[in-house]
Every structure is written in structure tokens, then in C-alpha cells.
Structure 1
Amino acid sequence: MTILIPAYEPDIRLLALIEKLQAVCNFKIVVVDDGSGHAYSGIFKTVQDYGCTVLTHTTNQGKGRALKTGFRYIQETGESDGVVCADSDGQHLPQDILKISQEINAFKGHIILGCRRFTGNVPMRSRFGNTITRMVYSFSTGKSIYDTQTGLRGFSSDMLDWLCSVSGERFEYEMNILLEADKEDFSFREVDIDTVYHHNHSSHFRTIIDSAKVYLPILKFSASSLLSGVLDIALLLLIQSIYPNLLLAVVGARVCSSVFNYTLNRVFVFSKGNRTGFQSSLKKYFTLVLIIMALNYGLLYMINLQFGVPLFYAKLLTETILFLFSYLIQKRLVFKDRRGSSGPVMFKGPEYFKPTF
């Protein structure tokens, strides 16, 4: 078992964590210095003196790249048990790291997540941010993960190829892992851990930029349907005003907005890793369109004509009901990634210095 710790400008809490880990286990420890600079060389020299492996980025490349550098190195060493990723700021306790390692052995094929319940003295920003991310992730994927932002994660060794192929260089990488995992048929297992927060002025999460990167994969996935929904509503009202026939308005608006939505999804939303053939995805997509069209008409007929709700509001309610259903079917069936095992991953150029001992 290997413990992987990405570190950028760490303090003595990194050394304290390593000391405590070495007191309770004999796992290999790999630390990635993500371009911290000369001022932090003393800390990393001490880490080496403790018998740990230190990989060094010459410049800061982000947490995602640091993790992938570590995964690649660990894969090259022939690790067969698994990898536990932990943060360098002391927020993950040794007993919780050991708990994750035990779960890796017990639940092969699962991504193990150290789940904080956010009890006690937790900063409001952290509590609020995780709540919003949890809700958006659940809405977009249909899966429930309580702590989407946890840095304490466990992976079996057969996941290393895939982990190196997931996109993202900074904090968004960890969210991308969650979004991409179901394409590889990996399941999640959450394990309760202690919630530990320090008065941490050294956090390198840039609130606006990195939050945007974390949410971007989810927002991109949602934006296509939102734009298509707006187009559908506009066309429905336009056709209905010209020719007052509900069936014609629903069908005409849905056909036009569906062509628009399919194009966006194939080119923009699911372009990465999507190897589903054009004809195959097109057939599946428009089969889904027919199903949703029937449901759309049925719900509109009931809400608008039976219950007397104005057409505009009836349409909004109908689209809300069908929104999540459409997302899940498109993600899981229409544009499902058929990659399977990604195979060896090639990296461009030497991105780190290997240890000499």
C-alpha cells in the first residue's frame, strides 16, 4: 500500500503527519512537491530523511497534475495493493488514512471516499460549498455522494491507468474523477472520517477560478439542456401563437430543439472520450426524443388542459420533471463512453525529478 501526498508550500503539519503515519504503519509514502520553490526545500529534505520518496515539479502545476505525477510513479514501481491520497495540511488523521487503506483491500473495484459529516467548528464557506457541490453533482449524475470535495480517497492499483487519463490539472481533477468514474463501472464507497479544520491561511484553493473549474464539468453538462429548453419554450409559444394546435406546437418545438441539443451534446458536452458512433448515438437520441415527446405532451395535456395551468407555467413544470430523466438517459445510454480500459498513458516530457535513492 502506498500513501500519496501532493504538497504545495507545506508547513510542519506535513512532517507531523508523516511521523504519525510511520508510527502506526509501514506503508510507502510518496510526496509530490508541486513547485514549492527553494524556500521549502528544507521541509522536503526532512521528508526524504524520513525515508519517503519525494517527486519534484520544477514549477507549480496544480493538485491534479501532482496527483497524476504520483500515480504514474507509483504505477512504475509495481504497486499491487492500492493508493491512499491524503492532503498535506493535517486535515486527514492517520487512523482515517488507515481506515481507507483497509477498505481498498475489502472492496475491490470501488473508489473509497473519506466522508466528512461537517460537524463541529467548520467554516461556513466549506460547509456551504460542499452542500452546493453535492446537490449539483447529485442532480447531474443521479448519484448521491455526501462529501464530493474530500481529498482523502483510496484507489486499487488497477485504476492507476485510468486515473492518469482523467482530465484536469488543478482542483477540478478531483471532481472529474467522480464524474468519469461511472463510465469505467467503478462504484463509490463512503467511509466516515473525522472533520478536522485549521485556521488555514495557506489554502491554495483560489475561490473564484478554482470553483469555476470544479463546477465547469457539471455546468457544461447542464447548460446544453437548459439552452435547448429555452429554445423549446420559445418555439412552442411561437408555433402556438401562429397555429393554435397544442400537438403541432409540442412536436415542432421538440424536433427543432432536439436537433440543437443533440449537436451540442455530441460536439461540446460529451466530446471527450465519446466513441459512440454517429448513427448509433443519433438513433438512441431520437428514440429518447420520441419518449420524452410523448411524456411531454401527456404532462402538458394534464397540467394545462385538465388542471387549467397557463401554458407557459405548465411547460416550465413539465420541463423540470423531464430534465433529470433526460440527463441520465443521455449520459448513461446515448453518449456512453465505450473506452473500457484506457491502456498505458503517455506523458509529454519529463515533468518531475525522480528520487536518486
Structure 2
Amino acid sequence: MYVLIPAYEPDMRMIALIESLKETNPQPGIIIVDDGSGACYEELFQTASRMGCIVLTHETNRGKGCALKTGFSYLKGIGASGEVVCADSDGQHLPKDIMRVGSCVEPDSRSMVLGGRRFSGKVPLRSRFGNSATRFVYARSTGVKIHDTQTGLRGYSTDMLDFLLEVPGERFEYEMNVLLTAAKYGYAIKEITIDTVYLNNNESSHFRPIADSASVYLPFLKFSGSSLISGAVDFVLVLLLHSLSSSLILAVWGVRCISALLNYTLNRNVVFFKESGIRHRTAFPRYALLAVLIACLNYLLLFLLYKKAGIPLPLAKILTEIPLFLLSYWSQKSFIFTLLNPNG
């Protein structure tokens, strides 16, 4: 088993973790990635090297995602086989939990193991807020429920190294991108419970709840903005065309085509542009099919709520649009503006 530890400006807790790992399992391959900590921390990394760890160094700080990829690239280069467990350097992951996560990794399986905290007891507010927010976004984006989306304790089989190196992201967003991409490409995610450890109110953490979570929330917010713009155009043009033609059907379906084209353009070029190396001839038919499906479901739900259940039309419209909005976001992210083959 290999233990990969990205480290930026660590303290003696990293050395204590290495010692504990050596006591628990005398033969783990421990890879430390110094993510540009600087000269002041050189002695700590030299100590880790003398303790038998492989130390890889970034000249400047490049972010946790880059540090993890440097470790993955090293393991791929030496032809490593078995399990890779990623752990933080600040003492939040106990050696027993690191070993337990590694023991749960199944060789040659399309799955990963997360060491999930339950956030019981005294938990720093920023940690509780950050995980709750990303857990909500992740569940709405993928339909998969994970209790601890921000855990840094994760186990992988080495046959996943190519996949892990292809996932986009350089900083803390990388770990969320791994979860999002894994769900998209059919990798199973197993979560086991670990101890929740916060030392000194988690002051050593370099995670910024707002700035580092922004890249996770941004696609969802941009999708919301795209939908609002398209909806506003739809609303205004329906009134305009109906006043000119007096044909409600012509106004509704004519404008729906215009707003759908606008929404498709915004979503492909602004919302999901980083993911969509996909061609128009592939994406557009998928989008058109989804647009027809959404329109049919919209009418059906409105009919059931307004006509059959007697719910006032404005409320029925709101109750209809919310689930269809989430369905549309999930469908476009998972099937329309994405390459279905993770390798190409």
C-alpha cells in the first residue's frame, strides 16, 4: 500500500503521522509532496526523507490538486500496483483510519473509498458550512449522496491512476472534481466512517470555504443565470409575438425554439465549456431531445397540478419548474455537454 501526503507549510504533526504509520505498518510506501512550502520548511521534509519517505518538491505553491497529481504521476512512472491512500499532513487522519481505508480498496475495481467524517461534537463552523454546501451541490448535480464530500482521506486502486491524472483542477476543487467525474463515468464510491479530528479549531487548514468552494458552485450558478436569461427572453417574446399574431400556439412554440437555442448556446459556451470538447452534431441532438422532454413534462405536471389538483397556476408553475430545472442541469452536465468516454 502507498500513502500519498500532499503538504504545504506543514508542522511536526506530519512527522508524528509518518512515525505512527511506520509503527502501524513498517512497510508502507509513503510519498510526500512538498507543494512549494519554502526554505523555512526544508528541515521537516529532509527529516521525512531520512525516515524513508519519497519526497517530491514543487518550487512554488501550485495547489493541492497539482500536488496529488504529482504523486499519482510518480506512482504511475514507477509502475506501482496495489492501493493508494491520500491523507492530509495535519494530523486530522488517524493512522488506523488510513490503514482501514486502504484495506477497503478492491484491486482492479472501478471504485474508490472515502473516509467520511460524521461531524459530531465540536466542529469548526467553516468546516461544517463548507461540507454542507458542497454536499448539497454534489447531490443535486449527480443524484449521489455522500456525507463527507470534502474528506482528504481517500483510497484508490492504482489502475485508476490514468483517470485521476485526467481529472481537471489544480487546487481544492480537484477533489470535488474527482467525485463529480467518477459519478459521471460510472466509478463506484464507497464511504466508511472515520474519526472526526480537529486540532486547534482546524487552524492549520489552508482551505478557504468561500474562495475554494466557488469553483464547485460556479457551474450551478452559471446554469441558473443562463436559465433566468433564457426564461426572461421567452417571457418577453411570447407577449410580443402573441400581440402581433394573436396565435398563442405560434407564440409559445416559436419563442420556445428561440429561447432553447439561446440556452443551448449559453450552456455550451459559458456554463459547461471546460467539459465540452464535444461537437455540436453530438450535443445538439441530445439537447433538442431533452428540450422536447422537458416541454412535455412541463405541460404534464402543470396539467396535473393546475387542472386536476386545483393548485393555483402561479404556485403550480413554481412547483413544476424547480424539479425540471434540477433535471435539466443534471442531464446537461452528465449526458449532453460531456464526453462519455473518460479517455477521449
The alignment's TM-score, normalised by the length of structure 1, stands at 0.87
C-alpha change, 1:291 and 1:184, in structure 2 (3 Å) is closer
C-alpha change, 1:151 and 1:236, in structure 2 (3 Å) is farther
1:307, distance to aligned residue in structure 2 (A)? 5.2
Contact 1:114-1:191 within 8 A present in 2 as well: yes
1:132-281 correspondence runs (5 A) = 132-199=133-200, 200-236=202-238, 247-248=249-250, 250-281=252-283
Equivalent position of 2:321 in the other structure: 319
Q: Match of 2:2, as an amino acid?
A: T
1:104-119 correspondence runs (5 A) = 104-105=105-106, 108-119=109-120
Deviations 1:227-282 (A, max 9, x none): 43444455456656777766555434432221112112222333334344422322
Whole-Å Cα distance in 2 between the matches of residues 115 and 211 of structure 1? Answer: 18
Identity of aligned residues (%): 54
SS at match of 1:105: coil
Equivalent position of 2:5 in the other structure: 5
Equivalent position of 1:16 in the other structure: 16
C-alpha change, 1:7 and 1:203, in structure 2 (3 Å) is same
Q: Match of 2:336, as an amino acid?
A: V
Deviations 1:262-319 (A, max 9, x none): 1122223333343444223222211221121112122233444555655444333221
Contact 2:3-2:84 within 8 A present in 1 as well: yes
SS at match of 2:92: coil
Stretch moving more, 332-341 or 287-296: 332-341
Whole-Å Cα distance in 1 between the matches of residues 105 and 243 of structure 2? Answer: 60
Equivalent position of 1:349 in the other structure: none
C-alpha change, 1:246 and 1:194, in structure 2 (3 Å) is farther
C-alpha change, 1:265 and 1:129, in structure 2 (3 Å) is same
1:222, distance to aligned residue in structure 2 (A)? 4.7
| Long gaps (5+) in structure 1 | 343-357
Whole-Å Cα distance in 1 between the matches of residues 62 and 52 of structure 2? Answer: 25
User: How many residue pairs end up in the alignment?
Assistant: 342
Whole-Å Cα distance in 2 between the matches of residues 126 and 253 of structure 1? Answer: 45
Whole-Å Cα distance in 2 between the matches of residues 221 and 22 of structure 1? Answer: 48
| Long gaps (5+) in structure 2 | none
Whole-Å Cα distance in 2 between the matches of residues 239 and 300 of structure 1? Answer: 23
1:34-183 correspondence runs (5 A) = 34-105=35-106, 108-183=109-184
* Higher relative contact order structure (alpha carbons within 8 Å, sequence separation ≥ 6): 1
Stretch moving more, 253-262 or 109-118: 253-262
Whole-Å Cα distance in 1 between the matches of residues 114 and 120 of structure 2? Answer: 17
Equivalent position of 1:341 in the other structure: 343
State the Cα RMSD in Å. Answer: 2.4
Stretch moving more, 15-24 or 158-167: 158-167
SS at match of 1:314: helix
C-alpha change, 1:11 and 1:247, in structure 2 (3 Å) is same
The alignment's TM-score, normalised by the length of structure 2, stands at 0.90
Deviations 1:94-130 (A, max 9, x none): 1111111111136821021111111111112211221
Whole-Å Cα distance in 2 between the matches of residues 77 and 185 of structure 1? Answer: 27
Equivalent position of 2:295 in the other structure: 293
Contact 1:273-1:339 within 8 A present in 2 as well: no
Whole-Å Cα distance in 1 between the matches of residues 133 and 239 of structure 2? Answer: 33
